[in-house]
Each structure stands twice: as structure tokens, then as C-alpha cells.
Structure 1
Amino acid sequence: MRPDAGQVLHFSEDPTIERFVPHVAVTSRQSEPYVWAVGYERCPDYWFPRACPRAMAWVGQDTSEEDTARIIGAGCGERVHAIEYCWLKALMEVRLFAYRLPADGFTPIGEPAHAVVSTAPVVPLGPPEPVGDLFELHEQAGIQLRVLDNLWPFWNEVTASSLQFSGIRLRNARR
């Protein structure tokens, strides 16, 4: 599930949203109200239940072969996502939807940019689309999906490596 040209996506478990209104998300580090969405490259970050903690790592232009082999694995592609066992059932059962939004009016946020935001209300281009099987999406995108007892040892290795990385909802991970 990726956006077409001129689109960005917003992923949600709520299939009833008719209009997105800027707000300050409870989890946001930003104080300005936004409508949040993602472009093509960052969509896989959201192929999860909303509250599911996940640690993600991928090869960047400055990633060493050693870190790639050690963390991602030799011959295992260029990206890995990890969740905890306690979230496996939710990953299998979640009904996730994607809203296609017009890319006009959205600007990148973060350094490097990890999302796009709008400060104006946004009306979806059509009804929400069921995202479908999240395991299948990962497989089709060539992304490893790891299930771990605890994310923190993996996260600590990733953040100390030369890999690119992102962690979402990590406050929900086991301590």
C-alpha cells in the first residue's frame, strides 16, 4: 500500500474519517497542530497497529557492510522491522485503512524528513482503502519482519550502528 503520484497516505484503524483537521497529537514533539501523512518511502513504517512499538532499520549510503551483515543479515535484503511477540496477534488481526490525500499543501517535517504535514484541513481523495495482510505487504516490499521477546537489545544495536533507523511507539515496548 503506497501512494500514487501526487498523493500521500494517512494510515488509521478508523474507517470513518471524512476530513482531517490539524491537531497536536498526544505523542507529538511538535506544538503546532498538523495533519500527518507519509510519502512512498515511509509507508512501511505504518504497516502496523497504531499502538504497536516497532524498531526499523535500513541500509543508507553510509552504512557499512559489517553493520548490514550483523544486524540485517547477509543476503537478507536492505531493511528490517522488529516487533515484540506480544504484538503478533494484533498485527495479524488489525483492520488498517489507508487514506489517500492530495500531496499539495503538505510539507516535509524532520531532519531527515520522516513524514509530511499540513496546517490546513484535508479532505481525502476517496474512501479509505483496506490495507490488507500486513505480512504480505512486508514480503512484497522485501522487508524482513522480526518478532522478538524484547525490542531494546535490537534497538540499542541499531542505534549504535551505521544503519538508518526509526522507532515508533517505543514507549509501548517491554522494559
Structure 2
Amino acid sequence: HKKFDDATAILAGDALLTQAFEILAEKETHPSGDVRCAIALELARASGKIGMVGGQMIDIYAEQKNFDLAGIEELQRLKTGALIRFSAVGGGLIGEASSDEVAALEAYAEDLGLAFQIVDDILDATADAETLGKPAGQDAEMDKATFIKLLGMDGAKSKAADLVERCKAHLDRFGAAADPLKGAADFVFERKS
């Protein structure tokens, strides 16, 4: 909507979302129709009313509400966390991981999504617009419920660090094969934008 207009942005989003389901339905994605259906179901949940869309709707009204820690965690699990969760669980499903392995990937992704959002809150409060690539300080300006508002800066940093360590612990069962995912968790914590 910044480069074009709102209508074009909405149509582009609609096209990209339906293209995702098209790709998941193609035989080239996985030979098993059951696996393709399971992945499509996960994406529908992650992107729909019980995922990102629902979370975004709550976030629109978050400026007018006082969330407690559990409330803001749930909001963030629905937003960014739902799509990160889909990425990890979808990968496990395509790779035909066991249900215990998929559960470990899901736990990893849930903690990673929350850590990502906490770091996002920290960056919004501490980084400049040039570094972020977007206006800084908007959360405070709009009086949004953030982890910093609830935990303070030190508490938010500590919670993010704890979540990243939990992320990596969820992956211990996979050995060295999970090193790229552990690296992603470190990146989320250390990122500057």
C-alpha cells in the first residue's frame, strides 16, 4: 500500500495467499495427498482467523486495551508466531517427521515467534528509523501493548534470551541437523533491524 494503493495491496495479498495453496496442492510438493492436505490445513489455520488474521485484528484494537502478559503472549502467538509455527511444522510434515518430532518443531517455533516479537518491541524502542527501515518508536506513540511496557527493557531482554535458549533446547533431539534452526534462533535475538 506504500508503493501503490490499498486496493492493489489487498489484491496482491489475495493473489499470493491463494498461490500458496496452489503450490501446496501440486503433486510436486509431496507425492502423498494426505501430506499435502495436512500442510494446507496448517497454512489455513496459521493465516486465518485463528492465526495471523485473528492476531492482526486483535492488534488493531490492542491500542485501546490493557493486556496482561498472558494476553500479549497470545496476541503475538497468533500474529508472527502462527506463520513461524507453520514454517516449522510444514517442514516437519513434508519431511514426514514423527508426531513427537513435529511437536518439538512446533514448540521451537512458538518460542521463536515470541522471541522475535519481543526483539521487535526492543528494536522499536531503541533503534533509529534508518536502521529499522521503518519509523521507530511507533509502539509507544500508539500506546500499544508491548513486552517492554509490561516487563521493562531489562525484563523484555531477559525473556527474549530465555525463549531463544528454550528454542534451541527443543531441537536437541535432532542433533547437528538442527544447527541451521538454532542459528535462526540466535539471529532473531541478535538482529539489529
TM-score by length of 1: 0.26
TM-score by length of 2: 0.25
Select the structure of larger CA radius of gyration: 2
> Comparing both structures, which one devotes a greater share of its residues to strand?
1
Higher relative contact order (CA 8 A, sep 6+): 1
> Comparing both structures, which one devotes a greater share of its residues to helix?
2
